[in-house]
Amino acid sequence: MEFEALKKTPVFQALSSIGKRIYQPNGIFYWSNRAKKEAKINATIGTAVGFETDIIDGGREKLLTYYLPELKQYINLPPEKFASYAPIAGIPKFRDLWEKWIIYKGKNAINLPSGTINVSGKITKPAICNGITNSIFLVSRFFLNPGEKIICPNKRWGNYNSVLHLQNELEIETFQFFKDDKLNIEGISELMLQISKVQDKIVLILNFPNNPTGYCPTKNEIQDILNSLKNFCDSSNKPVIIFCDDAYEGYSYSDHRVGTSIFYELIDLHPNLIPIKLDGASKEFLMYGGRTGAITLGINSSWLSSSEKEIFLQEWENKIQGMIRSTISNSNHFYQEVLIEIMNLGFEKMQESRNKIYEILKKRYFASINAFEKYKTEGITMDPAGGGFFVFLNIDKIQADKFADHLLLKYKVGTFPIVSEKEEINGIRVAFCSIPLEKIEETFRRIRLTLSDLS
């Protein structure tokens, strides 16, 4: 594969050396695909295959992947749906459904500046991997060489440090997430400009609702980000890659905050802008144990003619498959099949089911806001929030580690302190997602007591 269509877009230029080199060899898959269609005896498949009758009383006269018969008692799906490998980038039916789900969310967008957005035909087929962590690992390696810089907020998920810095050897360049209780867009722009002077691409990771603050932007803030990105792209010739870590997409609770990924707005913002959507079933479908994530690229309309686009899609697919095959081979089969079953109920039905949990979280969120207001005092502030699973409390004069320790020892409330002098963070993350509603006010009362004790 020569990646000719890919080379016509800014995507190729933006790839890391591994991204440029990686591909999925035809090899075994070419021959097994041909054999599936052409062979009467298929000796290409590297798994034990035979008649179910051979291994199970009352089994079917059907060739299938052998499995331990004991498995059947734990799974109410036919063995075809859990025993064999899933394809490298996911079960086609599941990928189709995930694509439809992304399109559905755009068509039902909440508070985006452009209203609702139809991305049908403007995205690649979602490639399934082992959850959002894995997707971040894969795409950051796909686009950035060791030593290169990636922009993150100072308030970010701790595992970014492990994935991006410890593992992928990137330099994390941070901006203060908030300025005057708003998203610090100026901070992002300054960093982008600075990096563009020393690097041939700019990579930014956005995570709304954010971990650890729960921050969701308002419609105006989204518009400001878009303007700022567009201005930057107009004045620079360098590709700007934006990873949208959409782990908590949909968990927005406030009427004036955006509940849909900024990804939708980024697709056609500027030809040099490359938006990548990173989704996970963990929070979206409350399936943490499933390790099911998806990587989806937004395709700018100006990049390719429609005939070129077909080739581009194959080329992108080949490279992403190359990345997956050479790191995890493929993702687990069963959870994909279960999600197919659930998505097949219809997205409305699925959301209805999820809504019960969403409403519980929403109540806990507002209870947290109210409780904080009730007990608030000097020396402690809450970051702008609006969604997700957490709120973040900045603590002025007491080291947050000590604060959390006292809160736990004396008041039996467990929170997660984050302290970084360099990044000007000192506070505790309160995961309201795991506190029953009736204990939320008490949680904040005890936080207040801790503050009094230590002041």
Among 50, 92, 121, 346, binds a second copy (CB under 8 A): 50
Instruction: Give the separation between CA 28 and CA 312, rounded to whole angstroms.
Output: 23
Among positions 116, 166, 193, 310, the unique one binding a second copy when judged by CB under 8 A: 166
Q: Cβ(335)–Cβ(86) under 8 Å?
A: no
- Which helix (H) or strand (E) segment holds residue 153: the answer is strand 149-153
CB neighbour class for 450 (10 Å; exposed up to 12, middle 13-18, buried from 19): buried
Burial of 158 per CB tally in 10 Å (0-12, 13-18, 19+): exposed
The CB-of-112 to a second copy minimum distance in angstroms stands at 25
CA distance 101 to 96: 9
Say if CB 113 and CB 269 are below 8 A apart.
no
Please, what is the minimum distance in Å from the beta carbon of residue 89 to a second copy?
Answer: 14
Residue 18, interface with a second copy (CB under 8 A)? Answer: yes
Closest C-alpha among 20, 7, 1 to residue 303: 7
268 DSSP 8-state letter: T
- Whole-angstrom CA distances from 383 to 218, 261, 369, 386, 417 are 14, 20, 11, 10, 14
174, 272, 330, 450: which one binds a second copy (CB under 8 A) = 330
Contact with a second copy (CB under 8 A): which of 237, 301, 327, 420? 327
Q: Determine the interface stretch with a second copy among 109-117, 288-296, 299-307, 369-377 (rule: CB under 8 A).
A: 288-296
Closest by CA position to 403, among listed 422, 425, 387: 425
Q: How far is the CB of 305 from a second copy (least distance, A)?
A: 30
From the list 376, 367, 394, the residue with the least C-alpha distance to 155 is 394
Task: Number of residues interacting with a second copy: please give it, by CB under 8 A.
Answer: 117
Which of 14, 102, 304, 342 binds a second copy (CB under 8 A)? It is 342
Q: Whole-number minimum distance, CB 454 to a second copy, in Å?
A: 18
For residues 352 to 391, the per-residue mask of contacts with a second copy, x marking binding by CB under 8 A and - elsewhere, is -xx-xx--xx---------------------------xx-
C-alpha to C-alpha distance for 95 and 89, rounded to whole angstroms = 8
Per-residue x/- track, 184-223, a second copy (CB under 8 A): ---------------------------x------------
226: how many CB neighbours lie within 10 A of its CB?
Answer: 20
Residues present in the chain in total: 455
Binding of residue 346 to a second copy (CB under 8 A): no
Closest CA to 445 of 392, 363, 372, 366: 372
429-448 positions binding a second copy, by CB under 8 A:
430-436, 439, 442-443, 446
Residues 244-273 binding a second copy (CB under 8 A) are: none
CB of 451 to a second copy, least distance (A): 16
Q: Quickly list DSSP for 415-451.
A: -EEEEETTTTEEEEEE-GGGS-GGGHHHHHHHHHHHH
Residue 422 burial by Cβ neighbours in a 10 Å radius (0-12, 13-18, 19+): exposed
Binding segment (CB under 8 A) for a second copy, from list 5-13, 24-32, 181-189, 191-199: 24-32
Binding of a second copy at residue 417 (CB under 8 A)? yes
Q: Which of 176, 172, 212 is nearest to 423 (CA)?
A: 176
**Between residues 292 and 300, which has the closer beta carbon with respect to a second copy?**
292
Kindly tell me which of 234 and 359 has the beta carbon lying closer to a second copy. 359
Q: Which of 323, 371, 380, 398 binds a second copy (CB under 8 A)?
A: 323
For residue 329, state whether it binds a second copy (rule: CB under 8 A). yes
Residues in contact with a second copy, shown as a per-residue x/- string from 112 to 131 under the rule CB under 8 A = ------------------xx
Contact region with a second copy (CB under 8 A), list: 264-272, 306-314, 349-357, 376-384: 349-357
**Exposure class string for 73-99: b at 16+ Cβ within 10 A, else e:** eeeeeebebbbbebbbbbbeebbebbb
Among 4, 60, 62, 71, binds a second copy (CB under 8 A): 71
Mark the segment that binds a second copy (CB under 8 A) among 106-114, 193-201, 229-237, 324-332. 324-332
Of these, 13, 85, 376, 402, which contacts a second copy (CB under 8 A)? 85
* Site residues (CB under 8 A) for a second copy, limited to 289-308: 289-291
